Amino acid sequence: MTAVAARPRVWLRDNGVYAAIVVLVGYNLVFTENFATVANLNTQLVQVAPILIVALGMALVIGTEGVDLSVGSVMAIAAAILPLYLGYGLLPAILLALVAGASCGLVNGTLVAVVGIQPIVATLALLVGGRGLALVFADGQLKDIRNPALLDLGAGKAVGVPYVVLIAILLTVLVFLLVRYTTFGRQLVAIGGNRSASALAGLPVRRVLMTTYVISGVLAAVAGVVATARLTASDPSSVGNLYELAAITAVVVGGTPLSGGRVRVLGTVAGALLMQLITATLIKHNLPDSAAQIVQAAIIVVAVYLQRSRTAR
């Protein structure tokens, strides 16, 4: 009896985000002009790419029953470092930005896994301090990017698909494979499901947690580089602002429970796409920003409500 009653809700929880996307795309195909054009598709995908890249790392962290609030500030740090080393060439500059992201992740991971601080506060410290650090690196200034290779990364295309989107797709595939087919992925999910049991079973809890936060930091740095390339300027004071919220939203709407023990990579992609689609739809129909925010708020609550059966037990 209960099982039958619960079935539609379970289905909605697992597939609701895909259903919502189908409905919204269908609505837009009928009612929105110039929706099904390659140009519009590219615009939407390019806009969602940095959020998605951050959300991939966030999904892993949330899978360990943690959260990484520092991602927006890590993006700013990466964006601030990039122009400082562009003189040595694009690759060394990007590499240094990624190393900076990894170091941020290492700090978070140490605070969470070794010191034993709750993830919210541990990463809150870097959220507060990281943006200040980025502004210190950049001397508080916005710097125009003139490096042709970096500009090409932001605006160029391969077979009609922007590089930025290709990077996001590649990273999605990598994270998907990581979760599904590697020992690390299995350990991560096990630790998120029950940390003490995993520790008793001899899993390397600290190492896996550290690695997860490092991955999140590196992905945030990639997003920072991508956002800088698209913006054609390094703007540490605003790049990545509130990205932590957008990323958490994408992950939660995509069906990854906040209580850990499960990572839905494709769901996260769908969650990011859905939020982007909602904003785009409202904007195309001349509804204001305020409406978009209220609708997003309602969708978050509905998504968490659907997951409740899992978390409440």
Partner 1 sequence: MTAVVTETSVASARTTGRERLAGLAQRRGSVVVLALLVVVASFSFDRFLTVGNVQNIAIQSSFLAIVALGMTFVIISGGIDLSVGSVFALGGVLAAYGIQWGSLVGLLLPLVGCGAIGLLNGALVAYGRLAPFIVTLATLLGARGLLLAITDEGATTRLMPRDALLTEIGQGTFLGLGIPVWITLVLFAIGIVVLQCTGFGHSVLAVGGSREAATLMGLPVVRDTMLVYLVSGLTAGLAGALAAAYSASGVTIVGEGLELDAIAAVVIGGTLLTGGAGTVGGTLAGVLLLRVIQNVINQVGTLNSNYQSVVSGAFLAVVVAVQAYLSRASR
Residues that bind partner 1 (CB under 8 A): 67, 107, 111, 115-118, 120-122, 124-133, 135-136, 140, 245, 248-249, 252, 258-259, 288-294, 296-298, 300-301, 304-305, 308, 311-312
Assess contact for 220 and 78: CB atoms under 8 A: yes
Element (H, E) at 233: strand 233-234
| Closer to partner 1 by Cβ: residue 166 or 291 | 291
Q: Nearer Cβ to partner 1, position 129 or 204?
A: 129
For 20-50, letters b (16+ CB in 10 Å) and e give: bbeebbeebeeeeeebeeeebebebbbebbb
Closest CA to 71 of 53, 54, 89, 87: 54
Do 223 and 50 contact (CB within 8 A), yes or no? yes
Cβ closer to partner 1: 164 or 214?
A: 214
Output 168 or 299, the one with its CB closest to partner 1.
299
Task: Kindly state the smallest distance separating residue 121's Cβ from partner 1, in Å.
Answer: 5
- Smallest separation (angstroms) from partner 1 to the CB of 155: 30
Closest CA to 189 of 244, 139, 264, 254: 264
Looking at the Cβ atoms of 43 and 118, the one nearer to partner 1 is: 118
Minimum gap (Å) between residue 119 Cβ and partner 1? 10
Q: Minimum Å distance from CB 275 to partner 1?
A: 11
User: How many Å apart are CA 154 and CA 229, to the nearest integer?
Assistant: 4
Whole-number minimum distance, CB 89 to partner 1, in Å? 28
Cα angle at 52 between 51 and 57, to 5 degrees?
100
Estimate the crossing angle of helix 38-63 against helix 163-181, to 10 degrees: 30
> Is 177 or 294 the residue whose CB approaches partner 1 more closely?
294
Pairing of strands 161-162, 143-144: unpaired
- Choose between 50 and 236: whose C-beta lies nearer to partner 1: 236
- Nearest-approach distance from CB 53 to partner 1, in angstroms: 20
CB of 135 to partner 1, least distance (A): 4
Token output for 85: 């080393």
**Length reported for the chain:** 313
